[in-house]
Amino acid sequence: MWLILIIILVIFVYYGIPYIYGKYAKRTLKNKAVKSRVLALTFDDGPSDNLTLAIMDLLDKYNAKASFFLLGRNIAGRENIVKQISVRGHDICSHGFDHLNYLKISPWCSIKDIKKGWDAIDSALGIDKEKYLFRPPYGKLNIVSLAYLLLKKVHVVYWTDDSGDSWKTKPSSDRVAKLIDNSLGAVILNHDFNRREKQTESWVLESVRLALEKAKEKNMSIVTVSQLN
Ligand SMILES: [Zn+2]
């Protein structure tokens, strides 16, 4: 009997607490975005060869800044793009190194992945900042990785709405604009990794353009996640 209770307790602490934390953090994020009437555009899994630059060019046209959650393994050979993200005033954040699901690997592997992701950004920028705002791959953390981030005083940044650009087979480019139209504030999840088909990259750009147009129409400020946190 005691053994079963201990097992349940361990499972709750390891999986349950980070799950509840994630729910709470998402709700808090939504409240902040709505209260300030802002839109934050976030891009995961980059940088990529063309799309990241094309997104930044588009953002420039609207004088808008966004947040890029870089995947460490995609940085090698694209250090110049990472530098441009920084120079052009966008938020550089981390999405880990290998896009691992932290619920499916050991706690020490998850911490190693977080550190490796931060190190990859540091070496691309030639600085020693050591930590960056963090978004866990798949939005999943175990208790050890969550505790590690909290001890490091690193914000875990979730999202309020998903553009669907990584999983929808037939994405509609006005999905995000419609979301914004029905919302008073949002933190949108987009992806800027290399696409196999050019057509998909065009869809991502059109989706971002329509989102920026809608925000302008609704008079919403566009902020980065560091401005929101
Ligand atoms: Zn991702």
Q: Mind listing the pLDDT tens digit for each residue in 84-112? A: 999 999 999 999 999 999 999 999 999 99
Distance 159 CA to ligand 1 centre (A): 12
Distance 174 CA to ligand 1 centre (A): 22
**In this structure, what CATH number is given to the domain that contains residue 78?**
3.20.20.370
Distance 137 CA to ligand 1 centre (A): 5
The whole-angstrom separation of Cα 82 and Cα 40 is 19
∠ Cα 37 193 88 (to 5°): 55
Q: What is the pLDDT of residues 10-58, one digit of tens each?
A: 898 899 999 999 999 999 999 999 999 999 999 999 999 999 999 999 9
Range of the domain at 140: 2-228
Distance 6 CA to ligand 1 centre (A): 33
Distance 101 CA to ligand 1 centre (A): 10
The encoded tokens of residue 31 equal: 């409240």
Distance 217 CA to ligand 1 centre (A): 30
For the residues 56-84, what does the mean pLDDT come to?
98
Domain count along the chain? 1
- Which run of H or E residues covers position 119? helix 107-125
Distance 4 CA to ligand 1 centre (A): 35
> Which residues have CB less than 5 Å away from ligand 1 (the ion)?
44-45, 137
Report the sign of the C-alpha dihedral through residues 201, 207, 124, 89, in that order.
positive
For the residues 155-162, what does the mean pLDDT come to?
96
With 0.85 as the threshold, say if the pTM is over it.
yes
